[in-house]
Structure 1
Amino acid sequence: MLRLRHSVLAQLLSSPSASTISPLHRLFSAAAPAVSPNPSFAVDDYLVATCGLTRAQALKASPKLSHIKSPTNPDAVLAFLAGLGLSDADIAALVARDPQFLCAKVEKTLAPVVAGLTGVGLSPSDIVRLVSLSPNSFRCRSIVSKLHYYLPLFGSSENLLRALKRNSYLLSSDLDGVVKPKVTLLRECGLGACDIAKLCSNQPGLLTTNLERFQVLVACAEKIGVPRGSRMFRHALRAVASFREEEIAARVEYLRNTFMWTDGEVGIAVSTFPLMLSRSKESLQRRSEFLISEVGLEPAYIAHRPVMLGLSLEGRLRPRYCAVKFLKENGLLKRDPNYSIVFRETEKTFRDKFICPHKEAAPHLEEDYDAACKGQLPTNFRFTQAKNGL
C-alpha cells in the first residue's frame, strides 16, 4: 500500500492554505504517475490485495466502484489516508464502510478538508478519528463549515467526536433547517451553553430528529413534572428521548407499583430524578427489593431521595449497607445512620467515616468491604467478626 511520509504531511498541515495543494500535486504525481485505463483492472481484486478487504467485503463494495478503470486515484487516496496516520486495518474498515471514498479527489477535496479542519483547531489524531467515524462526510468540503458551528456548540473536539460516534448523521444533517431550530428551542427552554453541550454529547440524536418529534419530547419533559428553566430539564429531556409518550406513562405507572408510591410521591421522585425512567425494569425491581425489603426504608423516604436509585446496587449500595449493618450489630455506631447520606457520600468520605475509624476493633472490615465492592460478598451478607468477640 502506498504511504506518505509523516514529515511531509506534517509540513502540509502546518500551513493550511491554498498552497497545500501544490506540494500534494507534486507528491502524488511522483508517487502515482498517470496510468492509462487498464481493461484488465479488476476492482474486487484491488480491494482485496491493496485495500485489505475480505473477498466478501470486496464483492459487496465493487459494484459501487465499477466505473474505476485504473488504480491511479485509489492509490492516491490510500497514500493520503496512510499519511494521515490511519493503519492498514483502519483503512480497510473505512473502505469497506464507504467504498466510494476511493473516488474522492485528493487535491480538490481531501487536502482542502484536512487543511480546513486543521484551521478550526482539530489535531491530527482528531482528524484520523473523524475520517474513521464519518468517511462519507469527510469527502465533502462542507464538513469544515459544519465543524465551525459544532465545535463551539459541543464545547470541545472530544465531546463532538463522542457524539459523532453515537450519531454520524450530525455531519450530514442540514444545519439551518434541522439542527439550529433545535438549539434555539433548547435555549428557549432555559438551557445554557454547558447544558446544551452535555445533553447533545449524550443524546446527539435530539439534534437530527424532526422538529415535531423534538417539540413532543419537550412537552413530555414538562408533563413528568420538570418545568422549563429547571436545572433538571436537561436530564428530563435525556430521560424521555428514547421513548414514546405512552411508554413514558407506562414507566411512571411501573415505578408507582414497584416502589408502592402514591401519585404525589411518584411525581416527586420522577421530577427530582428523571433519569430513573431510563432504568430497566429489572434494575428498578432489584433496588426496590433491596431498599424496602432488606434495608427497611419507607417508600416515602425513597421518593424524596430518588438519587439512590441511580447508584450501583452491587458496587455501592449493598457493600455500604453491609458495612454499616456490621458496625451497628457490633455496637460500633453510636446512632443509626441516614442511609441516603451513606449511599451518596463519596468513596473517600464513606471510608473516612465508617471504615478507617474501626480498623483496630474490626481488623478485617476494610478487607471484607473491598471484597464486597468487587462483588465477592458472602451469601449471608456478614463480615468477619470483630476482635474481642464484638
Structure 2
Amino acid sequence: MLRLRRRIVSHILSSSSTSTSAISPLHRLLSASTAPVSPNPSSFAVEEYLVDVCGLTRPQALKASKKLSHLKSPANPDAVLAFLSGLGLSSDDAAAVVAKDPLFLCAGVERTLVPVVDGLTGLGLSSTDIARLVSFAGNRFRYRSVVSRMHYYLPLFGSLDNFLRALRCSSYILSPDLDKVIKPNVVFLRECGLADCDIAKLCYRARNILTANPENVRAMAACAERLGIPRGSGMFREALHAVTFVSEERIADQVDYLKKTIKWSDTEVAIALSRAPMLLKKSKDMLRHRSDFLISEVGLEPWYIAHRPVILYYSLEGRLRPRYYVLKFLKEAGLVDCNMSFYTVVTRTDKYFVDKFICPHKEAAPHLAQDYAAACKGEVPSNFRFT
C-alpha cells in the first residue's frame, strides 16, 4: 500500500503541475495515512473516519456511512483523499466531494482516477481545471467515460467554464448515452439553425434539453414552430426554451389566459408570442398585474402591447411603475416632449435612463433622483402622487 501511495504522489506531481502549496498537504496526508491499520478489520469505524479524516459533519457522515458499510479498512479512502489533495482540492472541497458521492472513496486510484486525469490532461486541462471538474461532476468522475464525454463537450461549449455552468444547471449532462442521446440532439439543434454557442446558452436555461429523449426534443421544436417562429430565425432558441418540457395543455391554457386577461384576439396572441415566446412561462398573477397597470394606469391599448410584448417582461415594481412616474412627472413639468413613448423609456438600460431622464433635470427637479430611488423600493413620493 505504501508503494501505491508513493506512485500516486509521483504521478500527480509529474503530470498535473501541482503547486508547492498543494504538495505540502498531500505529503502530510500520506504521512498520516501510513500509520498501521488495525489488525482487526471490523474495528474500522466508517462514520468516525468520515468525520475525523474526511471532515464531514455528523449528519453527513451518518448518511454517507450507509453506502460504505462494506469498507473494512481506510487504505483505499486514504489513497483517494491523497489523490484529491494532490489535484489541489482543499479539505473542504474534498469533504464536499465525499458528501455528494460517498462511493468516491471506493474508486480505484491507479485503475480509474489516474487514467482519467491522464486523459483529461491530454485534452489540455490543468490540475486546477480537473479539480473543478471533480467538484461538479460527482460520481461521473469515477468512470473513464468522462474523458470521451469531455472530449466532445469542450469544443461544443467552447470552454471548461461554459461546460461547468451547464453542469451546474444539469448534473445529468454527463450521464446519458453520448451516441444515442446527446449527439443526436446536438445534430438536430444544429439543423434547426442553432450555433454551438446557442446550444450552450439553451442548456443554461432549458435544463436537461440535451439529455432528453431525441423524439421529445423534435416534438419541442415542432411546438416552437407552431408559435409562428421558424427554425433558423433569431428567436427560435427562445421559442424552444419557452416550450421545453411544457405540455400542450399548459400552452393552450396560457394562451387562453392571455386572451382573456389582456383582451387579445387570436391574431394578437400569435403576434405577441412570436415576439415574446417566454410569455408562455410567466406566472398568471404577474401577467395580470403588469397588464392591468399598463392598460388601466399607463393607458396602453391591448393591440399596442401585443406588438411590443417584451414590455410584459419587465418588473412592475422595479421598472414599469417607477419609470412611468418619472416620465409623467417630467411631462407635466414640461421637461420632456409630451409625445415621449413610455415603451422607449421602459426598454432603455438603467444607465441610459438615469443619464437621459434624471441627471439633466437636477436643477429643475432636484428631488427627482431621490424620488425615483424611493419609487424603485415600492414607495410613492408625494411628487409622484398625481391627481
Is contact 2:311-2:346 (8 Å) kept?
yes
The alignment partner of 1:67 has SS state of: coil
State the TM-score, normalized to the length of structure 2.
0.87
Is contact 2:13-2:86 (8 Å) kept?
no
Distance in 1 (CA, whole Å) between partners of 2:27 and 2:318 is 59
Distance in 1 (CA, whole Å) between partners of 2:11 and 2:28 is 9
Larger mean Cα displacement after TM superposition, 82-91 or 268-277: 82-91
TM-aligned CA distance change 1:183 to 1:236, over 3 Å? same
* Sequence identity (%): 59
* Counterpart among 320, 337, 342 of residue 334 in structure 1: 337
Is contact 2:165-2:204 (8 Å) kept?
yes
Cα deviation for residue 32 of structure 1 reads: 3.9
Distance in 2 (CA, whole Å) between partners of 1:237 and 1:11 is 46
Cα deviation for residue 12 of structure 1 reads: 3.2
Distance in 1 (CA, whole Å) between partners of 2:40 and 2:381 is 73
Larger mean Cα displacement after TM superposition, 351-360 or 225-234: 351-360
Q: Could you say which residue in structure 1 is the equivalent of 2:384?
A: 382
1:43 to 2:64 alignment: no
Aligned-residue CA RMSD in angstroms?
2.8
Structure 1 portions without partners, runs of 5+:
16-24, 385-390
* Counterpart among 232, 237, 248 of residue 234 in structure 1: 237
Q: Could you say which residue in structure 2 is the equivalent of 1:139?
A: 142
Distance in 1 (CA, whole Å) between partners of 2:356 and 2:47 is 67
Is contact 1:160-1:201 (8 Å) kept?
no
State the TM-score, normalized to the length of structure 1.
0.87
Q: Could you say which residue in structure 2 is the equivalent of 1:181?
A: 184
1:2-56 CA-to-partner distances (Å, cap 9, x unmatched) read x99x9995653139xxxxxxxxx99998664485673311222222222233444
Q: Could you say which residue in structure 1 is the equivalent of 2:249?
A: 246
Distance in 1 (CA, whole Å) between partners of 2:10 and 2:276 is 52
Cα deviation for residue 117 of structure 1 reads: 2.4
Distance in 1 (CA, whole Å) between partners of 2:186 and 2:240 is 13
Distance in 1 (CA, whole Å) between partners of 2:328 and 2:159 is 45
1:217-261 CA-to-partner distances (Å, cap 9, x unmatched) read 111111122111111110011011131111111111111112111
Distance in 2 (CA, whole Å) between partners of 1:296 and 1:179 is 49
TM-aligned CA distance change 1:194 to 1:96, over 3 Å? closer
Q: Could you say which residue in structure 2 is the equivalent of 1:220?
A: 223
Cα deviation for residue 331 of structure 1 reads: 1.9
* Counterpart among 80, 95, 98 of residue 95 in structure 1: 98
Q: Could you say which residue in structure 2 is the equivalent of 1:67?
A: 70
Cα deviation for residue 163 of structure 1 reads: 1.1
The alignment partner of 1:366 has SS state of: helix
1:300 to 2:303 alignment: yes
1:348 to 2:345 alignment: no
Cα deviation for residue 102 of structure 1 reads: 0.3
TM-aligned CA distance change 1:184 to 1:253, over 3 Å? same
Cα deviation for residue 383 of structure 1 reads: 7.2
Cα deviation for residue 161 of structure 1 reads: 0.8
TM-aligned CA distance change 1:380 to 1:127, over 3 Å? farther
